[in-house]
């Protein structure tokens, strides 16, 4: 049963592996929501963090105060940072009808739709690993995934995400790395392909 | 009634700055603003974030606190006791097993009437080994003579952290205060909160003027002398009295804080209780989830309500009796257990408080979320269903229900 | 002696009157008390140093007597006295002060 109170909410479940920046992506989105004046929550699935092990994080965004404090059990969006999790983790568990899936893959949405067996959902694919390898020299796909997420679901303005990336990452990273992340976000947004429910594909807008 | 009402604004409301921070960092931020003289702590999951963030503030020169990382929690609270007896404003933070190790010294702090503030990140107790949230640690200190406040959100943890200082140091109280937030759920969750300007917090908490200092050689005092059968009883009676006076102080401080910030708190916080025929009573972060469940049930035409307890010590029995006495059936939700007890901890407190006042509704005990088990909304919808079914049962006593347990 | 009730006592048992231990007479705790032979005593003050209850009375650098109201009769003075001019004796107090 979907709680009616949840409809005003965007509830995101992030799947990735330890070291890919899953929790950072969730926190960056929360910070961007703050800049947008929204309410939000961002939290990991609590447990022992291990590099390479499957990791889950959650984000909630709403324009009203968010009271619920449980893990996201019925997400409206699922973000998959690592396609090798497909078949090993129940990635679509509880995903609400009409919900969106964003996958880090060079495949097209139709190809991925078959592999995920996801008929009833909006599917967005973006080659975040490829973009990260090219621009950052490492497989840290979290920032490009934010580009894909915003392409599929404009939860917060792009400018808010960009200023958050600049602000938050500058505290820890060198200027050129921050600039590379900004570019990675922009490129991912441009290259992400969204396959609608009917199977239509919106190619990248210029 | 200790429910806060909005009075005319005596003080101009201060505009806060919205931030995206986890609860633990937010509490460390409040600690910096409160400017303790001494903080002694030992890092333990999930409290570690507080210790790390606060020691960073110290290292950066953002606060002039003497920060002592001790060799254990027992030592941490002991250091706090010495520093507090020396007249300082003193704080610590811990979690679960760390609190258990402090247990002996908890009584020394309260018995010596030292207004220490502890930020407690609620965590289950081993064994089996577990680092996640429940309230087993909190219930272990219920009789230690500390004021205990419990936060629903990171914002409330921040607000309680500031108010705790005023409550502890109030001349009529002079008791240590534990400000509790749920481990991981509140400590590690990033949410939208508002922080006050540094000056507003400094002005609100004021300067602590200790009644004495063990370092004042011009006025020597003995703290913690031997206290046998001839005096111990009297000193314990004083502690009981101080806790009674804390009832009023908790609400006074909350009211003053509400005037400053617009965020009003009381010892208890009713949610949609006006005409409720079925209600639950909860502590901690789960109150938020219960709000959404109550809203859903209301939409279905069920007159559901919820009462959140913010202050566990002193226990607001009178307020609860007024809120719950007229409700047909009430579920009490425990996040800890008391094996073999007359009931689980919160259930026993609430049922005792209501029975003493002769206004006991039909009550049922629920246990949820032990060791961090997900408190899913569906479990609580089920709990309200159980309660409504209970109402048909008459006087027959019902066994506790273990929500989300694999039967 | 009437003890203070809980409303009258200082919170937490703090003792803010320094030196108030003199108000509690512990002279009855011991069976024997020190008896000093002032003819032999050289006023070396070893007894004064060792006494855990500060019971040796000194005036102008000379030992002048024993505070029998607070002496608990431990006898360390008699053991440590280098001239062996202190003996522990039952009824020493009465002998010195009169009964």
B335: Cβ contacts below 8 Å, ≥ 6 apart: B122, B133, B134, B135, B283, B284, B286, B367, B368, B369, B370
Burial track B291-313 (b if 16+ CB lie within 10 A, e otherwise): bbbbbbbeeeebbbbbbbbbbbb
Q: Is the peptide bond before A85 cis (omega within 30 degrees of 0)?
A: no
Q: Is the dihedral of CA B277, B281, B284, B285 positive or negative?
A: negative
DSSP codes, B87-152: T--EEEEEEHHHHHHHHHHHHHHHHTT---EEEEEE-PPPSSP--S--SHHHHHTTTSS-EEEE-S
pLDDT score recorded for residue B4? 34
* Burial of A38 per CB tally in 10 Å (0-12, 13-18, 19+): buried
CB–CB of B80/B40 below 8 Å?
yes
Confidence label for A197 from pLDDT (cuts 50, 70 and 90) = low
Q: Write out pLDDT tens, residues B388-402.
A: 998 877 656 679 999
Rounded to whole angstroms, how far apart are CA atoms A145 and A129? Answer: 9
DSSP codes, C3-50: PP-TTTSPGGG-B-STTGGGGS--TTS-SEEEEE-TTT-----HHHHH
> Quick one: average pLDDT of B88-103?
98
Instruction: Pick the residue from chain C with its C-alpha nearest to B217.
Output: C18
Rounded to whole angstroms, how far apart are CA atoms B191 and A69? Answer: 11
- Say yes or no to pLDDT of B370 above 90: yes
> Quick one: average pLDDT of C31-55?
96
Q: How would you classify the pairing of strands B278-283 and B329-334?
A: parallel
Residues of C in contact with B112 (CB under 8 A): 12-14
* Minimum distance, in Å, between the CA of residue B45 and any CA atom of chain C: 33
Residues of C in contact with B231 (CB under 8 A): 3, 9, 13
What is the pLDDT of chain C when averaged over all its residues?
A: 93
Q: Write out pLDDT tens, residues C65-99.
A: 999 999 999 999 999 999 999 999 998 988 888 86
Q: Write out pLDDT tens, residues B28-71.
A: 999 999 999 999 999 999 999 999 999 999 999 999 999 999 99
CB–CB of C34/C79 below 8 Å?
no
pLDDT score recorded for residue B369? 97
pLDDT score recorded for residue B396? 64
B54: Cβ contacts below 8 Å, ≥ 6 apart: B28, B31, B32, B39, B41, B63, B65, B67, B93
Question: Does A93 fall in a domain?
Answer: yes
CA distances to B13, B36, B59, B116 from B67, in Å: 33, 9, 9, 15
Confidence label for B8 from pLDDT (cuts 50, 70 and 90) = very low
CA B334 to chain centre: 14
Give the chains touching A; criterion: ≥3 Cβ pairs < 8 Å: B
Q: Any CB–CB contact under 8 A between B230 and chain C?
A: yes
> Quick one: average pLDDT of B369-387?
94
Lowest mean pLDDT among B17-21, B151-155, B379-383, B396-400: B396-400
pLDDT score recorded for residue A204? 40
pLDDT score recorded for residue A4? 34
pLDDT score recorded for residue A8? 72
CA distances to B22, B279, B368 from B275, in Å: 36, 10, 26
Residues of A near B (CB-CB distance < 8 A)?
A: 1, 3-6, 26-27, 30-31, 33-34, 38-44, 46-47, 66-71, 73
For domain B268-402, is the CATH number 3.30.70.100? Answer: no
The upper half-sphere exposure of residue A203, i.e. CA atoms within 13 Å in the direction of its Cβ, equals 1
Containing domain of residue A140, as a range? 7-195
Rounded to whole angstroms, how far apart are CA atoms B124 and B284? Answer: 14
Q: Any CB–CB contact under 8 A between C23 and chain B?
A: no
Rounded to whole angstroms, how far apart are CA atoms A195 and A201? Answer: 5
Helix (H) or strand (E) holding A102: strand A100-104
The three-point CA angle B182-A90-A140 to 5° equals 75
Percent of chain B with pLDDT over 70: 96
pLDDT score recorded for residue B214? 96
Question: Does A35 fall in a domain?
Answer: yes
> Quick one: average pLDDT of B129-145?
97
Q: Write out pLDDT tens, residues B167-191.
A: 999 999 999 999 999 999 999 999 9
Kindly determine whether residue B225 and residue C15, on different chains, have CB atoms separated by under 8 Å: yes
Strand order in the sheet with B147-150: B66-69, B38-41, B90-95, B117-122, B177-182, B147-150, B311-313
- Say yes or no to pLDDT of B7 above 50: no
> Quick one: average pLDDT of A139-162?
96
Residues of B in contact with A31 (CB under 8 A): 20
B120: Cβ contacts below 8 Å, ≥ 6 apart: B47, B93, B94, B95, B99, B137, B138, B178, B179, B180, B181
CATH number of the structural domain spanning residue A79: 3.40.920.10
The three-point CA angle B344-B348-B351 to 5° equals 135
Kindly determine whether residue B241 and residue C5, on different chains, have CB atoms separated by under 8 Å: no
User: Topology of domain C37-99, per CATH?
Assistant: Alpha-Beta Plaits (3.30.70)
pLDDT score recorded for residue C97? 85
Domain residues of chain B, as ranges? Answer: 17-261, 268-402
Where is pLDDT greater, at A119 or A140? A140
Q: Write out pLDDT tens, residues A18-76.
A: 999 999 999 999 999 999 999 999 999 887 678 889 999 999 999 999 999 999 999 99
Give the closest residue to B100 by CA, choosing from B39, B142, B141: B141
Give the closest residue to B365 by CA, choosing from B381, B385, B351: B351
pLDDT score recorded for residue A44? 92
How far apart are the two ends of chain A, measured CA to CA in Å? 40
Q: Is the peptide bond before B351 cis (omega within 30 degrees of 0)?
A: no
User: Residue B197: what are its φ and ψ, rounded to 5°?
Assistant: -65, 150
Residue B194, SS3? Answer: strand
* Burial of B6 per CB tally in 10 Å (0-12, 13-18, 19+): exposed
C34: Cβ contacts below 8 Å, ≥ 6 apart: C47, C66, C71, C75, C77, C78, C86, C87, C88, C89, C92
CA distances to B130, B153, B280, B340 from B366, in Å: 21, 22, 10, 15
pLDDT score recorded for residue B394? 64
Give the closest residue to B181 by CA, choosing from B313, B41, B310: B310
pLDDT score recorded for residue A51? 84
Kindly determine whether residue B377 and residue A27, on different chains, have CB atoms separated by under 8 Å: no
What is the pLDDT of chain B when averaged over all its residues?
A: 94
* Burial of A50 per CB tally in 10 Å (0-12, 13-18, 19+): exposed
> Quick one: average pLDDT of B121-140?
97
pLDDT score recorded for residue A205? 41
Rounded to whole angstroms, how far apart are CA atoms B115 and B253? Answer: 15
Kindly determine whether residue C13 and residue B235, on different chains, have CB atoms separated by under 8 Å: yes
pLDDT score recorded for residue C1? 72
To test the contact with chain A by mutation, choose from B56, B150, B191, B282 the residue with the greatest count of A C-beta atoms within 10 A, namely B191
Lowest mean pLDDT among A165-169, A191-195, C61-65: A165-169
The three-point CA angle B285-B336-B252 to 5° equals 50
The three-point CA angle B231-B233-B237 to 5° equals 120
Where is pLDDT greater, at A199 or B122? B122
Strand ranges (E), B237-277: 268-271
Give the closest residue to B18 by CA, choosing from B162, B169, B161, B191: B191
- Say yes or no to pLDDT of B109 above 90: yes
- Say yes or no to pLDDT of A199 above 70: no
Give the closest residue to B43 by CA, choosing from B132, B121, B139: B121
How many CB pairs below 8 A link A and B? 83
- Say yes or no to pLDDT of A200 above 50: no
Rounded to whole angstroms, how far apart are CA atoms B164 and B179? Answer: 7
Rounded to whole angstroms, how far apart are CA atoms B161 and B169? Answer: 13
pLDDT score recorded for residue B134? 97
* Burial of B14 per CB tally in 10 Å (0-12, 13-18, 19+): middle
User: Topology of domain B17-261, per CATH?
Assistant: Rossmann fold (3.40.50)
pLDDT score recorded for residue B12? 54
CB–CB of A128/A176 below 8 Å?
no
- Say yes or no to pLDDT of A82 above 80: yes
CB–CB of B114/B85 below 8 Å?
yes
ipTM: 0.89
pLDDT score recorded for residue B256? 97
Percent of chain B with pLDDT over 90: 93
pLDDT score recorded for residue C46? 97
Q: Write out pLDDT tens, residues B189-234.
A: 999 999 999 999 999 999 999 999 999 999 999 999 999 999 999 9
The three-point CA angle B31-B288-B201 to 5° equals 20
Q: Write out pLDDT tens, residues A38-53.
A: 999 999 988 767 888 9
Q: Any CB–CB contact under 8 A between C99 and chain B?
A: no
Percent of chain A with pLDDT over 90: 79
């Amino acid at each position: 049963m979907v709680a009616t109170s949840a409809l005003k909410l965007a509830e995101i479940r992030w799947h990735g592996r330890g070291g890919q920046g899953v929790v950072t992506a969730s926190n960056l989105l929360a910070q961007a929501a703050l800049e947008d004046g929204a309410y939000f929550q961002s939290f990991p699935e609590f447990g022992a963090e291990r590099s390479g092990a499957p990791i889950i994080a959650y984000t909630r965004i709403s324009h009203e105060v968010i009271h619920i404090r449980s893990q996201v059990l019925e997400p409206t969006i699922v973000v998959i940072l690592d396609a090798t999790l497909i078949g090993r983790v129940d990635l679509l568990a509880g995903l609400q009808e009409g919900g969106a899936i964003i996958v880090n893959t060079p495949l097209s949405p139709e190809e991925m739709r078959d592999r995920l067996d996801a008929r009833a959902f909006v599917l967005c694919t973006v080659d975040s690993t490829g973009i990260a390898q090219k621009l950052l020299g490492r497989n840290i796909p979290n920032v490009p995934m934010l580009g894909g997420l915003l392409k599929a679901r404009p939860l917060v303005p792009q400018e808010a995400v960009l200023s958050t990336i600049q602000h938050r990452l500058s505290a820890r990273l060198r200027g050129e790395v921050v600039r590379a992340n900004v570019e990675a976000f922009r490129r991912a947004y441009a290259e992400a392909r969204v396959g609608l429910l009917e199977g239509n594909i919106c190619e990248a807008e210029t | 009634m200790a429910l806060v009402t909005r009075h005319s604004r005596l003080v101009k409301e201060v505009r806060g700055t919205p931030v995206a921070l986890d609860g633990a960092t937010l509490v460390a931020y409040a600690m910096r603003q409160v400017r303790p003289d001494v903080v002694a702590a030992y890092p333990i999951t999930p409290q570690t974030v507080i210790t790390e963030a606060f020691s960073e503030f110290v290292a950066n020169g953002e606060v002039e606190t003497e920060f002592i990382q001790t060799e254990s929690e027992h030592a941490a609270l002991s250091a706090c006791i010495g520093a507090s007896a020396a007249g300082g404003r003193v704080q610590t933070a811990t979690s679960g097993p760390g609190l258990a190790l402090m247990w002996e010294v908890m009584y020394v702090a309260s018995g010596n009437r030292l207004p220490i503030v502890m930020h407690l990140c609620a965590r289950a107790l081993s064994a089996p080994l577990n680092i996640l949230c429940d309230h087993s640690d909190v219930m272990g200190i219920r009789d230690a003579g500390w004021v205990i406040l419990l936060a629903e959100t990171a914002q409330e943890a921040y607000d309680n952290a500031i108010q705790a200082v005023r409550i502890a140091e109030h001349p009529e109280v002079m008791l240590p205060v534990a400000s509790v937030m749920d481990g991981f759920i509140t400590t590690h969750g990033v949410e939208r909160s508002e922080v006050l300007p540094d000056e507003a917090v400094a002005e609100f908490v004021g300067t602590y003027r200790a009644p004495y200092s063990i370092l004042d050689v011009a006025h020597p005092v003995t703290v913690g002398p031997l206290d046998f059968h001839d005096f111990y009883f009297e000193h314990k009676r004083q502690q009981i009295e101080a806790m009674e006076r804390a009832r009023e102080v908790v609400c006074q401080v909350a009211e003053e804080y509400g005037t400053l910030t617009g965020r009003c708190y009381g010892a208890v916080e009713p949610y949609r209780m006006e005409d409720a025929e079925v209600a639950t009573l909860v502590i901690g972060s789960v109150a938020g989830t219960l709000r959404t469940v109550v809203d859903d049930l209301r939409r279905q035409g069920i007159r559901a309500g919820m009462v959140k307890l913010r202050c566990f010590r002193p226990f607001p029995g009178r307020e609860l009796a007024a809120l719950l006495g007229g409700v047909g059936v009430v579920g009490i939700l425990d996040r800890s257990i008391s094996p073999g007890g007359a009931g689980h901890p919160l259930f026993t407190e609430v049922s005792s408080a209501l029975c003493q006042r002769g206004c006991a509704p039909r009550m049922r005990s629920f246990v949820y979320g032990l060791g961090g088990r997900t408190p899913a909304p569906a479990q609580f919808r089920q709990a309200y269903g159980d309660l409504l079914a209970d109402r048909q049962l008459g006087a027959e006593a019902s066994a506790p229900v273990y929500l989300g347990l694999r039967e | 002696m009437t003890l203070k009730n809980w409303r009258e006592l200082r919170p937490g048992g703090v003792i803010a009157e320094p030196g108030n231990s003199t108000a509690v007479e512990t002279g009855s705790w011991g069976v024997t008390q020190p008896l000093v032979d002032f003819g032999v005593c050289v006023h070396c003050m070893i007894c004064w140093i060792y006494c855990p209850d500060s019971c040796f009375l000194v005036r102008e650098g000379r030992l002048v007597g024993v505070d029998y109201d607070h002496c608990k009769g431990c006898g360390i003075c008699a053991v440590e006295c280098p001239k062996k001019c202190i003996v522990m004796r039952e009824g020493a107090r009465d002998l010195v002060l009169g009964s």
